[in-house]
Amino acid sequence: MIKKLKSIFLTVGMMSLVLAPSLALAPAASAAVNIGGSLCQGTNIDVTANGNQNCNTGASRDQLQSLLGTVINLFSIVVGVLAVVMIIVGGLRYITSGGDSGKVGSAKTTIIYALVGLVIVAFAQLIVHYVLGQAQAVINGGGGA
């Protein structure tokens, strides 16, 4: 059991090390990129950037980001609630195991996997919100940081 626990922590640690470089700040050279303005110019077939009066000012972009954020938050809430329910189920199985080593091991495994699921959901929320924030900053022409 200790071996499995070490394996799980090692896996989560390695995943953190692999994902850490992706959370680094964007290089300063990308600060001059204005994707939103370029896209707006393209919709008007205007390369001079003077005729952007009819361009959408970002309402649909904001709606899409809001919808995406809502879907991700809803999914995370559902997974989080399921993980908490599984922790409770594992606790009840542990209490009612009656000292049977097989049932105790099964209950501990359930609790450990549910806790790992909660940690993964929390990290996923952080990563998704960071990526959405960076994407919004790039679209608005603010660079990456």
Where in the chain are the domains? 59-145
Q: Cα–Cα distance between 120 and 112 in angstroms, integer?
A: 12
At residue 131, the pLDDT reads: 85
Show the 3-state SS of the chain. CHHHHHHHHHHHHHHHHHHHHHHCCCCHHHHHCCHHHHHHHHHCCCCCCCCCCCCCCCHHHHHHHHHHHHHHHHHHHHHHHHHHHHHHHHHHHHHCCCCCHHHHHHHHHHHHHHHHHHHHHHHHHHHHHHHHHHHHHHHCCCCCC
pTM: 0.53
Estimate to the nearest angstrom the gap between the alpha carbon of 49 and the chain centroid. 35
40: tokens are: 């707006």
At residue 28, the pLDDT reads: 43
At residue 67, the pLDDT reads: 84
Q: Cα–Cα distance between 31 and 108 in angstroms, integer?
A: 49
At residue 89, the pLDDT reads: 95
pLDDT in tens, the chain (145 residues): 777 766 676 676 656 555 555 544 444 444 455 555 555 555 545 555 554 455 555 556 677 777 888 888 898 899 989 999 999 999 999 999 988 999 999 999 999 999 999 999 989 888 888 888 888 788 777 655 5
Closest by Cα among 73, 46, 62 to 128 = 73
94: tokens are: 């542990």
At residue 29, the pLDDT reads: 44
